[in-house]
Amino acid sequence: NAGVTQTPKFQVLKTGQSMTLQCAQDMNHNSMYWYRQDPGMGLRLIYYSASEGTTDKGEVPNGYNVSRLNKREFSLRLESAAPSQTSVYFCASMRVVNTEAFFGQGTRLTVV
């Protein structure tokens, strides 16, 4: 069982570059989430998709966009990366919104 798969695992970007973080889940969950984790800050919600075809902002959405490509896949895009976006990004899925979250292994992003 793969669960939640994120790619890439590591990435270094220059300021101003763009990139897309990919996430896929094979648990047939309806809801998918993107979080960022910074030292001493815990997990903060960037965007979520309660169900296929919908997306909503979370606590810290500025500088990000998302796409719910289908039920399995939910991508996070940084259009113009900034050093403040250096973080570890986690994708999570839930059977339905706000039940138990299952996390991927994370993408460690450094913006220089």
Partner 1 sequence: GQQLNQSPQSMFIQEGEDVSMNCTSSSIFNTWLWYKQDPGEGPVLLIALYKAGELTSNGRLTAQFGITRKDSFLNISASIPSDVGIYFCAGRRSQGNLIFGKGTKLSVKP
DSSP secondary structure letter of residue 79: S
Site of tokens 């839930």: 94
* Binds partner 1 by CB under 8 A, chosen from 59, 82, 84, 112: 59
Given the complex with partner 1, which of 41 and 112 has the nearer CB atom? 41
Q: CA separation (Å) from 58 to 17, 45, 52, 64, 87?
A: 23, 5, 17, 11, 16
Q: Does 58 bind partner 1 (CB under 8 A)?
A: yes
Shortest distance in whole angstroms from residue 4 CB to partner 1: 8
* CA dist., res. 49 & res. 71, Å (int): 10
CB of 33 to partner 1, least distance (A): 8
The residue ranges that bind partner 1 (CB under 8 A) are 4, 33, 35, 40-45, 48, 58-59, 90, 92, 97-98, 100-106
